[in-house]
DNA sequence: GCCGTTTTCGGCCCGACTGTTTTCAGTCG
């Protein structure tokens, strides 16, 4: 059992203990151990074998045997005992706003509610008001929250889906099986309903024998998955622990990229592509690109050796790496007189037109990023010091970062105050001196208060290189977020508006109207708009990024990392919000060699 | 339940808000 799975079991135990009403500190210790195991690179099986699991911070004498059992057997008898008391479905209730551990337990013990469906039924029958402490208003809040969760039912964030899909591709590759991402994950949709992989198949091999070789067959590994063959689509469908299926599609060498194009879609783009193909006497089918009048059977032999050009033909002894090169897909575009369109913008009609005209504009690319300007450290709610974040940034190949700890009146976070500012700036300067070739900007993420003023006075903000202004409380419509954001944008010290919509995917809708006005204001004041890449935010969403771009707004793509490992999440915002919106690199401030508004 | 000790027990994340009360428990950031 791998790190992620162990961490997941530990978190499940922690949540169940919390619902049981156990000591909060005990509950938290399970979460801490999970974080520690997940973010480490320990060889768990080795440590378990040597009895050294307590070397892991957060794992003590009580957790050691529990973790060892998970690693060695893939399950936990302790967890099984807990689930006998409280079904795991009760934990789904915790995702609903207004339901915490106490309420979840009450709902389960009083009404037997053990799933979101149960909750839905109880809300509709108004069974909840009348329980101790529950009234009409509580029911309303729960119903609203449940509706938001239901909007994302059966979907997971790209931030969860992409790394899992990539790790499956990597593990298949280790078994000499070549596969590529297709479908929603390849298009980098903000949430996806399935993980689709296209697997390369030799003519003499069957999908089932590949599957056997893959190690994904139940029983072949501890992470056994339910699987079934879907004959209509020629694919295997697996259940995963993520709430979305994994689907393995198969194609031979010559049909690989036509099939990848088909499976990547989206369907309205395939319609357009087909139309262009017909103009050239070609037909796009699920199995390949074929000459008009040709049968599907013929198509199954693949098109590259048939209607393909000489350079589109694979060499006789092509290596997997050669075949996996997406430039072969580009050749398909060429065959129908289109310029290649990156998967993330194939849904955008303006790119179809640009493609037909042979002028697809460049999109901002991960390699364009020169720095990350929204990061937290131990100075507020981050888990690492400034220097550790600098080293992580250097590891990402950046030339600069901005340290932007919270300046907030949220009491739980001890952030940057007027009194602590001197000391904070001093430490940033000290780290800067140790890394002369790398720029460490000083900054804060300052709270926009209820009246639109900022938590720190202007004279403090004036001392910082980067000021991100964000709303952290009363984000919904009654908090009048639009007016507060515009007021913050008008402040000349504010460089960036942080996570403007304030949404949390699947939990909180955030500001749902009026953000056009904020974009107008930002375009006028020159304030950059953040694209926050945290997988549960992905804020600003694509459609509003595209709108801002049309108004001339500049963007800052940021990780909002709270740990060194967190810097890597920046790609989710980049792919899902920036690239899908069709943003070129020059509209992203942190593609510049230095921040334009900082002098000296 | 972990950790780090002033070594075997106390600290660990705290305060505002809210819907429900009729004095406060529970949630949230």
Residue A246 has pLDDT above 60, yes or no: yes
Task: Determine, yes or no, domain membership for A600.
Answer: no
- Nucleic strand B under 7 Å from the C-beta of A97: yes
Q: Is residue A176 part of a domain?
A: yes
User: Going edge to edge, which strands form the sheet with A496-497?
Assistant: A371-372, A400-407, A439-447, A466-470, A496-497, A528-532, A555-558
Alpha-carbon separation of residue A126 from A120, A123, A595 (angstroms): 10, 5, 55
Distance, CA of A248 to CA of A236 (rounded, Å): 5
Strand B at less than 7 A from CB of A138: yes
The C-alpha atoms of residue A511 and residue A530 are separated, in whole angstroms, by 15
- Supply the CATH number for residue A206's domain: 3.30.460.10
Q: Per the domain annotation, does A568 fall within a domain? A: yes
Could you tell me if A459 and A559 lie in one domain? Answer: yes
Query: Quick one: A287 and A390 in the same domain?
Result: no
Whether A219 shows a pLDDT value over 70: the answer reads no
- Are A164 and A284 within one domain? no
Q: Is the CB of A220 under 7 A from strand B?
A: no
Residue A30 or residue A216, greater confidence = A30
Find out whether A581 and A545 touch, Cβ atoms under 8 Å: yes
User: Same structural domain for residues A427 and A340?
Assistant: no
**Domain final residue pick, A356, A375, A392:** A356
| pLDDT above 50 for A311 | no
Tens-digit pLDDT profile for residues A262-284: 999 899 999 999 999 999 888 88
Given A116, A135, A151, which residue is the final one in a domain?
A151
Domain of residue A208 covers: 156-251
Token representation of residue A43: 């060889």
Q: Are residues A104 and A160 in the same domain?
A: no
**pLDDT, mean of residues A56-63:** 91
Q: Are residues A537 and A444 in the same domain?
A: yes
CATH classification at residue A453: 3.20.20.140
Q: Please work out, in degrees rounded to the nearest 5, the angle formed at the alpha carbon of residue A154 by the alpha carbons of A151 and A159.
A: 90
A180 falls within a domain: yes
Q: Which two tokens stand for residue A294?
A: 């040709």
Query: Would you state the pLDDT for residue A300?
Result: 45
Same domain, A194 and A293: no
CB atoms within 10 A of CB A318: 13
Q: Could you give the number of structural domains in chain A?
A: 4
Nucleotide nearest to A100 (CA to C1'): B27
How many Cα atoms sit within 13 Å of A555 on the Cβ side?
A: 34
Residue A308 confidence class, pLDDT cut points 50, 70, 90 = very low
Question: What percent of chain A shows pLDDT beyond 70?
Answer: 92
Chain A 37-96, CB < 7 Å to strand B: 54, 57-64
Same domain, A436 and A490: yes
User: What is residue A318's predicted lDDT score, i.e. its pLDDT?
Assistant: 65
Shared domain check, A395 and A283: no
Quick one: pLDDT band at residue A315, thresholds 50, 70, 90? Answer: low
Residue A488 lies in a domain: yes
Last residue of a domain, one of A119, A151, A183: A151
Which nucleotides of strand B are protein-proximal, with an atom < 7 A from a CB?
A: 1-3, 11-16, 18-21, 25-29
Q: How confident is the model at residue A310, as a pLDDT?
A: 38
Report if CB A28 to strand B is under 7 Å: yes
More reliable by pLDDT, A287 or A425: A425
Residues 6+ apart with CB under 8 A from A5: A70, A74, A222, A223, A241
Concatenate the DSSP letters of all residues of A213-234 into one string.
HHT-STTSSSS---EEEETTTT
Residues A499 and A435 in one domain: yes
Report residue A565's pLDDT band, with 50, 70 and 90 as the boundaries: confident
* A462-521: pLDDT as tens digits: 999 999 999 987 766 555 889 899 999 999 999 999 999 988 888 788 888 889 999 999
Q: pLDDT for A112-157, tens place per residue?
A: 999 999 999 999 999 998 888 898 999 998 998 898 888 888 899 9
Same domain, A247 and A275: no
Residue A60's nearest nucleotide, by CA–C1', is: B2
| Range A249-264 average pLDDT | 88
A311 and A352 assigned to the same domain:
yes
Residue A401 falls within a domain, yes or no? yes
């Amino acid at each position: 059992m791998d790190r992620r799975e162990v961490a997941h079991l530990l978190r499940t135990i922690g949540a169940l203990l919390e619902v049981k009403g156990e000591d909060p500190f005990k509950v938290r210790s399970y979460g801490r151990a999970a974080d520690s195991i997940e973010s480490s690179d320990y060889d768990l099986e080795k440590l378990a074998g040597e009895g050294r699991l307590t070397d892991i911070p957060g794992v003590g004498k009580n957790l050691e045997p529990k973790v060892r059992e998970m690693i060695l057997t893939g399950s936990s008898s302790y967890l099984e005992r807990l689930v006998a008391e409280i079904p795991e479905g009760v934990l789904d209730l915790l995702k609903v706003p207004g339901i915490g551990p106490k309420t979840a337990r009450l709902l389960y013990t009083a009404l037997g509610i053990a799933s979101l469906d149960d909750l839905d039924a109880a809300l509709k029958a108004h069974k909840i008001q009348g329980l101790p402490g529950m009234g009409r208003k509580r029911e309303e809040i729960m119903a609203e929250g449940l509706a938001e969760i239901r909007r994302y039912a059966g979907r997971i964030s790209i931030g969860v889906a992409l790394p899992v899909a990539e790790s499956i591709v990597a593990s298949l590759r280790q078994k000499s099986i070549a596969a590529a991402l297709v479908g929603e994950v390849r298009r980098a949709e903000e949430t996806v309903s399935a993980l689709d992989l296209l697997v390369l198949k030799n003519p003499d091999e069957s999908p089932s024998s590949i599957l056997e070789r893959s190690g994904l067959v139940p029983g072949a590994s501890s992470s056994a998955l339910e699987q079934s063959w879907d004959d209509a689509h020629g694919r295997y469908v697996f259940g995963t622990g993520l709430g979305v299926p994994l689907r393995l599609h198969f194609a031979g060498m010559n049909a690989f990229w036509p099939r990848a194009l088909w499976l990547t879609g989206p369907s309205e783009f395939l319609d357009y592509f087909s139309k262009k193909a017909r103009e050239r006497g070609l037909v796009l089918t699920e199995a390949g690109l074929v000459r008009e009048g040709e049968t599907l059977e013929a198509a199954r032999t693949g098109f590259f050796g048939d209607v393909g050009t000489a350079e589109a033909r694979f060499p006789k002894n092509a290596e997997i790496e050669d075949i996996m090169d997406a430039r072969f897909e580009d050749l398909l575009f060429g065959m129908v007189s289109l310029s290649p369109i990156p998967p993330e913008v194939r849904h955008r009609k303006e790119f179809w037109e640009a493609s037909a005209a042979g002028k697809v504009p460049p999109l901002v690319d991960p390699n364009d990023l020169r720095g990350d300007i929204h990061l937290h450290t131990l100075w507020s709610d981050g888990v690492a010091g400034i220097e550790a974040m600098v080293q992580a940034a250097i590891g990402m190949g950046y030339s600069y970062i901005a340290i932007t700890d919270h300046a907030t009146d949220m009491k739980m976070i001890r952030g940057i105050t007027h009194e602590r500012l001197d000391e904070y700036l001093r430490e940033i300067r000290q780290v800067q001196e140790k890394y002369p070739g790398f720029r460490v900007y000083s900054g804060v993420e300052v709270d926009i208060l209820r009246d639109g003023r900022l938590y720190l006075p202007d004279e403090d903000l004036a001392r910082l290189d980067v000021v991100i202004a964000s709303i952290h409380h009363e984000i919904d419509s009654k908090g009048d977020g639009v007016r507060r954001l515009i007021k913050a944008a008008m402040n000349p010290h504010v460089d960036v508006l942080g996570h403007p919509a304030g949404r949390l995917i699947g939990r909180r809708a955030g500001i749902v109207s009026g953000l056009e006005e904020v974009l107008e204001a930002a375009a006028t004041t020159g304030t950059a708009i953040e694209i926050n890449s945290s997988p549960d935010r992905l804020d600003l969403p694509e459609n509003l990024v595209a709108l801002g771009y049309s108004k001339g707004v500049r963007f800052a793509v940021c990780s909002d990392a709270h740990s060194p490992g967190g810097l890597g999440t920046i790609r989710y915002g980049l792919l899902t919000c920036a690239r899908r919106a069709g943003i070129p690199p020059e509209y992203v401030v942190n593609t510049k060699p230095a921040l334009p508004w900082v002098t000296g």
